[in-house]
Copies of this chain bind each other. A is one copy, B any other.
């Protein structure tokens, strides 16, 4: 087993964090404002995001703005170099790539015991844990933010059922998040991660994308752009019709099964691919998850077949009784986080700048938000978009008085 010293790890982590910071102008400006206005000074903030160089920039910026930051990340979404770099700055990191499920749960509990006033969550996993196990903490919280579609969905169910006790800003529901992070970011990086981890070619390959939300759309679009033959399975007829107009074959998972070489589950919903589906798939089919988690795939069934054979980094082969083999990438976890470095830096600049602004909103204790799922303010979004455009050397059409009048005219 190879051994690298903590100092070396931290140095490598620092380098990658600095590289990312160069391309994150919107986050830098939001953090600068937090620092100058002292909005989070002394506040306890818990960050539960995929741990990589971009999110580390948010963590470090919050610390520089005076917050006491604790970090949690599950074993499949963490990075030892980044952990080392954060620990070097005396930030409490609750994350261990080698943790099993029970150990990971203990880490999450320890993280919550730091009593964060604001939680930045991904998949609403820690927020739900807090609601189940830490009612007193929940009562004392200013609120949380949520990064993903997979997290907003259960939060809305909780809200409808009267179970959500805190305000949650659904960063995911900003067009700056779902139109960019989900489509261009996750779409691109999941397809790339598959190519990178397998060294296979996607041109000419039959790929099934389950779900045609923003992530599924992004995966399908990038796979098609690289020459794949994409089928889409989708419950909602309107989204399905859109997939059909985008040039994809649209059918059920069952109909696509006999013919498919790669499956991307992109729904954030448990059990969308079942053992029954697997039964009709060809031997050697490759399964992975885009944006969601391993619960979308029939991992329980597969793991019951016996220990998989590791073929290559992040590539495991399960043998079925009938002689067929199923290949699982990144242990069924979100492929671009576990098997790659996550979304491109510029995309995360948008999402993390939104996170920083959402934290700012929650921290403004004079106007507390009521419990429930909230959207981010429109003018924050507009400002962040303008910052990124400027950074890319692009610009909007100026809004002249004549245009403004035309817009108001009937």
Which residues of A come within 8 Å of B, CB atoms?
A: 1-4, 8, 15-16, 18-20, 22-23, 53, 124, 128, 153-155, 157-158, 161, 163, 175-176, 179-180, 183-185, 188, 192, 195-196, 198-201, 203-206, 210, 222, 224-229, 233-238, 240-242, 244-253, 255, 259, 269-272, 274, 284, 310-312, 315, 340-342, 344-347, 381-383, 385-386, 388-389, 392-399, 402-403, 406-410
Contact = CB atoms under 8 A, between A and B. Distances in A.
A94 B332 CA distance: 39
Contacts of A394: 204, 240-241, 244, 249-251
A271 B270 CA distance: 51
8 contacts: A53-B199, A199-B345, A201-B344, A204-B244, A224-B247, A236-B396, A238-B385, A241-B385
Given A235-B397, A389-B237, A199 B344 contact: yes
Given A19-B312, A229-B247, A245-B227, A188 B210 contact: no
A397 B252 contact: yes
Nearest to A402: B271
B406 A271 contact: yes
Nearest to A349: B201
Contacts of A395: 240, 250-252, 255
A3 B393 CA distance: 45
B203 A184 contact: yes
Contacts of A392: 204-205, 244
A340 B20 CA distance: 20
A383 B22 CA distance: 46
Nearest to A310: B15
A238 B344 contact: no
Contacts of A382: 236-238
A153 B381 CA distance: 22
Count copies of this chain in the complex.
4
Given A154-B409, A225-B225, A382-B238, A233 B199 contact: no
B407 A153 contact: yes
A154 B228 CA distance: 36
B271 A247 contact: no
Contacts of A248: 229
A346 to B, nearest CB: 5
Contacts of A163: 410
